[in-house]
Amino acid sequence: MTPVSPGRPGRSGRLQLPSYQAVAGLHPPLDHPGYESTALRHPREQLVLLPQNLTEITGPLLGDTRVTAGDADLTWANEGWAQGQRIVVHGRVLDSDGRPVPETLVEVWQANAAGKYRHEVDTFPGPLDPHFTGIGRALTDSLGRYSFTTIKPGAYPWVNHFNAWRPAHIHFSVFGRAFTQRLITQMYFPGDPLFFQDPIFNSVPDEAARKRLIARFDYEQTVPDWALAFRWDIVLRGHHATSFEAAHDHPDHDEDL
């Protein structure tokens, strides 16, 4: 293999890279006393600024991950239907410039309808469902769309504080197209009465940002005689306006991907 020589210039004579915007105060602080387990798991030293160089503006695309239609349907397992309220959870993965993130891997995991995870460290005495694993994955399509069919997860108690309950939620892991965009988060359901006492949901400092973790009931996408629907878009970091954008950001950019 021919090595790529360090310093090899781009077409314009310089190595020009996109730059991904950050928004101060968006993400929860890693030190959040209300969530006890953060105490020993957050850095105390100051973070060092990492310039967005080649390793940061690229990332695993995983578009060739083998994903079947069945991987996005969590309602049928072990030769039977899962218990609970069947729902479609769908939306788009976009960046903050409005660009879809196509063919990117979306991984989800969740509790069953009773609030029980199929995991040995879950000590909540809720029933396991032999027909529900709570595990799904999908690739977004060319417009960044994803869709899962699943069961509405139940709330469950945990040990953080007295009578602590997690609001119903689905864990989401998305990659985007660059290391800078990697995101793991949780989707919640509208009207959940448990938000007020949940330190994880409330760790997001900005109220408007917190509400963006809540899906929207989507009557239009319900499947008649089959499933209710919720819509949730995931927005990853977009580009700063840079010379890269001036050169490369044109309306059919998405088709070059």
Catalytic residues: 117, 156, 166, 169, 171
**Which residue in the set 78, 190, 226, 246 belongs to the binding site for other proteins (CB under 8 A)?**
190
Give the x-and-dash track for 218-247 against other proteins (CB under 8 A).
Answer: xxx----------x-xxxxxx---------
**Which residue in the set 13, 42, 149, 168 belongs to the binding site for other proteins (CB under 8 A)?**
42
**Which residue in the set 184, 196, 207, 225 belongs to the binding site for other proteins (CB under 8 A)?**
184
Q: Please list every residue from 103 through 162 that binds other proteins, using CB under 8 A.
A: 107-109, 117-119, 121-122, 133-137, 143, 145
Nearer to other proteins by Cβ, of 80 and 206: the residue is 206
Q: Please list every residue from 50 through 89 that binds other proteins, using CB under 8 A.
A: 50-62
Q: How crowded is residue 184: how many other Cβ atoms within 10 Å of its Cβ?
A: 9
For 163, 167, 173, 193, 195, the CA distances from 190, given in Å and listed in that order, are 22, 10, 20, 9, 10
Residue 175 CB, nearest approach to other proteins (Å): 9
Size of the site for other proteins (CB under 8 A): 114
Helix (H) or strand (E) segment spanning residue 145: strand 145-151
Q: Which stretch binds other proteins (CB under 8 A): 72-80, 81-89, 124-132, 210-218?
A: 210-218
Bridge partners (DSSP) of residue 80 are: 77
Nearer to other proteins by Cβ, of 75 and 180: the residue is 180
Nearer to other proteins by Cβ, of 80 and 205: the residue is 205
Give the pair of three-digit tokens for residue 112.
């069953």
Nearer to other proteins by Cβ, of 63 and 83: the residue is 63
Distance CA 22, CA 236 (A): 10
Q: Which stretch binds other proteins (CB under 8 A): 72-80, 81-89, 124-132, 248-256?
A: 248-256
Terminal CA-CA length for the chain: 25
Nearer to other proteins by Cβ, of 131 and 182: the residue is 182
**Which residue in the set 100, 115, 154, 167 belongs to the binding site for other proteins (CB under 8 A)?**
100
Helix (H) or strand (E) segment spanning residue 241: none
By the rule CB under 8 A, 38 interacts with other proteins? yes
CA 87 remoteness from chain centre:
18
Task: Classify burial at 192, counting beta carbons within 10 Å of its beta carbon; exposed 0-12, middle 13-18, buried 19 or more.
Answer: middle
Closest CA to 93 of 49, 141, 59, 57: 141
Residue 81 CB, nearest approach to other proteins (Å): 20
Closest CA to 170 of 240, 52, 72, 28: 72
Q: What's the angle, vertex CA 8, arms to CA 242 and CA 51, rounded to 5?
A: 45
